Chains A and B, each alone.
Chain A
Amino acid sequence: MPSQDGSLKAITANRLRDGVVVFLGADAAWVEAFADAALFAAADADAALAAAKAQAEGEQFGVDVYAFDVETENGVPVPVKMRERIRALGPSVRLDLGKQAAA
């Protein structure tokens, strides 16, 4: 749920064994597509992040776990920062690589 000011966050990591970008999805399961990422109200994000970090390290699943800002464009959630957009899609200079290649 978005917070009162409407800001949203998603939680991401890199998968330990292969480095692939993953997102925390529904039911605390890690997913590969940003479209499947769970969105948290800013007020709830810290607790969700702490739980995700503990889970990722405990299961040797993910590293470098953090939350990032999400906004809505034309009704679709997208990362606010270019960095996170590139992580969610792949290199902007190689559209044949990364998650965008499979889309």
Chain B
Amino acid sequence: MNHIAPGARAGIYHYDEIDRRFVGERVEQFRKQVERRLAGELTEEEFKPIRLMNGLYLQLHAYMLRIAVPYGVMSAVQLRKLSEIGRKYDRGYGHFTTRQNLQYNWIKLEDTPAILNELADVDMHALQTSGNCVRNVTTDQFVGAAADEVVDGRVYAEILRQWTTLHPEFTYLPRKFKIAISGASSDRAAVRVHDVGLLARRNEAGEAGFTFYVGGGLGRSPFIGKLVREWVAEEDFVAYLEAILRVYNQYGRRDNIYKARIKILVHELGLDTFRQEVEEEFERLRGPKYRMAPEIVAEIRKHFAPPPFEELAERSDILERAKATDPAFANWVAVNVAEHRAPGYAIATISLKPPGGIPGDATCDQMDLIADLAERHSFGELRVSHVQNIVLAHVKQDELYDLWQQLDAAGLGTANAGLIGDIIACPGLDYCALANARSIPLAQAISARFADPIRQRTIGELGIKISGCINACGHHHIAAIGILGVDKKGTEFYQITVGGDPTLTTAIGDILGPAVTETEAVDAIEAIVEVYLANRTGEDERFVDTLKRVGHAPFKERIYAAD
């Protein structure tokens, strides 16, 4: 293997020889499995679970390969490789997902071993992106940079990656298992709608520990994760998770796919019983074997040492001058740039949601540009957010204008992070074999309707999320305005929910009324926005707060008045 490591860049975990050998062996194993399938030595029934374990799905038009981006963090070298693969084996683009991964939509089975081999060259793979295993652990896209961060979630996400990879007990769980970690005071990782949601915190002594929420999830039965333990010390982190997974593995249902997730187990057992089972298992496991020693954590933490920040002034005169002369840039800074912990630096969100665009899609040219910009402006490192954007986490404020001008020239300078145009949409019926309705055209129409940046800022924080089926990959349940595509006798309809919340005050949205047609849906969204603007007490009252105060009635009346 011609190995091209991502380089000694800050914030990127570097494979050691064990990682590299393991991934290489898996590629060779899959190459032989593909050969046997193509030769007829394996049936599709035998082969399907094998290809899924390697991230390869069969979708509407072709195979879809889902590449793991561990906790959403990668290097410029890795992104450039993803771009190269997109050009060589796909159709010149990739799709960034709500799982912080990347999907190619036009992959050939016969090319897949070669693709996996190329990924391995840059310490990447497609493992744990499918199947009933612990999936790629997700975290805050601002990790290691956010001003409000208490604990660096990457360290523990990486520990979980190593712990869960090929874990013999957790390769055939009752169903897939998703873990999210947030180590900041703001939850940007939607932790309470994951099978296990972890809030990393510090106690009064400054020691790291974790609050465990279990049994969250979306899909056909949405649940908010329940508090199972307020504090688990760092050294018990793995033992407690292992205890949860063992209880799930033992009691989780395998007879009904719709009742197999841990959220159903927690719901059916009851929180107290579930907690008791976990605590008993935890007591059995606790001991030297499962203790996460500080030396191990420190060794992993070395990979995530802060980059060599320069000592800079808190605020940049260059930035202020550029904002004063270029209103479009000033708007982008106000919307897409977040506060960094290091003086003189900033966190820049690159929106993959241009008005009328396909949420999460990036062309290979755009990926190459982002890789170049990451090297020039952010220590060669970037992140994929669960809202399908890219983040450059360590940009000098002095360089933001230069960065934005280059992004804008490539169609990547849209200022809508967190606003109504920043829509999450699953691939929907345009690509996905499970979908009942299209998601993308509706996202395109809504973002085009609300393209005006001034109007978007006037509306303020308002998330729209669209799913093309009840599996809810588009997270519609936790959107301020959620849209679920349904099929009614061959016609696409869209069910609107309101009041969802992906943050620590997690809420599942309520259905507003009967589903509307595709052509009615955009007008309905606009009507909801107008009712909000007419009823809010001021610009500081967010959509979800107005909704709580005035209830559903004014919104229903406006949308369904003619019915």
Contacts and interface: CB of A to CB of B under 8 A. Distances in A.
Interface of A: 14, 16-21, 57, 60, 63-64, 80-83, 86-87, 90-94, 97-98
Interface stretch (B102-110, B128-136, B248-256, B281-289): B102-110
Given A14-B62, A60-B40, A80-B490, A92 B109 contact: no
B407 to A, nearest CB: 23
B61 A21 contact: yes
A92 to B, nearest CB: 6
A97 B107 contact: no
Interface of B: 37-40, 43-44, 58-63, 91, 106-110, 358, 429-431, 435, 437-438, 440-441, 444, 487, 490, 492
Given A19-B62, A19-B107, A86-B429, 11 more contacts: A16-B44, A17-B38, A17-B109, A18-B62, A18-B109, A19-B63, A81-B490, A82-B429, A83-B60, A86-B60, A92-B430
A19 B90 CA distance: 12
Nearest to A92: B430
Contacts of B63: 18-19
A65 B40 CA distance: 17
B38 A60 contact: yes
9 contacts: A17-B109, A18-B63, A21-B60, A86-B60, A93-B358, A93-B430, A93-B440, A97-B61, A97-B106
A92 B438 contact: yes
B429 A83 contact: yes
B441 A19 contact: no
Contacts of B109: 16-19
Contacts of B59: 19
Contacts, number: 73
A18 B37 CA distance: 13
Nearest to B111: A18
A19 to B, nearest CB: 4
A65 to B, nearest CB: 10
A80 B489 CA distance: 10
Contacts of B38: 16-17, 60
B91 A97 contact: yes
A98 B61 contact: yes
Given A80-B490, A81-B490, A93-B430, A18 B44 contact: no
Contacts of A60: 37-40
Given A19-B108, A80-B490, A97-B106, A91 B61 contact: yes
B361 to A, nearest CB: 9
B21 to A, nearest CB: 29
Contacts of B44: 16, 57, 63-64
B58 A20 contact: no
B106 A82 contact: no
Contacts of A21: 60-61
Nearest to B443: A93
A91 B44 CA distance: 26
